[in-house]
């Protein structure tokens, strides 16, 4: 089982309780995307379409966690990109999941070609659409613990972080 899937399984009861009693837009979903599902354009990426939007609509090998806490805005994703799937990503997607204006970001992307990396993204809306852009706060992340902390922080569940042994719990499960 993917480590990101373990995170969702562990945290989902808390998110569900928040959704039922406090904020009906709180959501945490695990997807398995194919490289073809991920589209990149205008500086953002997305995978949700009118026809494909529930986890059961996807059957790829790229783990993705979707965390939502707002109606129109307030969502983030984490993509787990393995060395094998990295080779299958469209160039437009790579351009949009890395900060192409930064030679440092591209050199980090190239330097991690043999590692699994976690791409942390926040949803943005703009006049003609929306999508997910690289989260500046965690832009250098390549560790799963950073992905856990990013998701917990974005969901307002800061106490579910790796400082409280969340990573050990999930990795040893």
Token pair belonging to 45: 């990426």
Look up tokens 């039922």; give the residue: 20
Distance CA 26, CA 16 (A): 7
Query: Residue 81 in 3-state DSSP?
Result: strand
pLDDT of residue 140: 64
Residue 72 half-sphere exposure toward CB, CA atoms < 13 A: 3
Distance CA 53, CA 35 (A): 15
Sheet holding 129-134, edge to edge: 27-33, 62-68, 75-81, 117-126, 129-134, 44-46, 39-41
User: Angle at CA 140, nearest 5°, toward 152 and 118?
Assistant: 55
Distance of CA 86 to the CA centre of its chain: 15
Give the dihedral of Cα atoms 170, 140, 25, 132; nearest 10 deg: -130
pLDDT of residue 154: 94
Axis crossing angle, helix 3-21 with helix 144-154, rounded to the nearest 10: 10
Would the pTM count as exceeding 0.85? Answer: yes
Per-residue pLDDT of the chain (173 residues; tens, 9 = 90+): 788 999 999 999 999 999 899 888 889 999 999 999 999 887 789 998 888 888 899 999 999 999 999 877 789 999 999 999 999 998 888 877 776 566 677 777 888 889 899 999 999 988 777 899 988 766 666 788 889 899 999 999 888 877 766 666 666 65
Query: Residue 38 in 3-state DSSP?
Result: coil
Q: What is the largest CA-CA distance in the chain?
A: 46
């Amino acid at each position: 089982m993917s480590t990101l899937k373990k995170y969702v399984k562990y945290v989902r009861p808390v998110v569900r309780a928040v959704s039922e009693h406090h904020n009906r837009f709180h959501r945490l979903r695990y997807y398995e995307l194919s490289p073809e599902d991920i589209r990149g354009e205008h500086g953002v990426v997305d995978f949700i379409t009118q026809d494909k939007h529930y986890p059961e609509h996807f059957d790829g090998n790229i783990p993705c966690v979707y965390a939502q806490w707002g109606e129109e805005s307030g969502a983030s994703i984490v993509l787990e990109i393995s060395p094998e799937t990295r080779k299958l990503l469209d160039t437009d997607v790579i351009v949009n999941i890395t900060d192409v204006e930064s030679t440092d970001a591209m050199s980090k992307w190239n330097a991690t070609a043999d590692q699994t990396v976690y791409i942390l993204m926040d949803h943005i809306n703009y006049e003609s659409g929306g999508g997910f852009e690289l989260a500046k706060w965690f832009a250098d992340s390549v560790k799963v613990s950073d992905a856990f902390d990013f998701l917990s922080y974005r969901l307002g569940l800061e106490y579910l972080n790796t400082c409280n042994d969340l990573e050990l719990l999930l990795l040893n499960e």
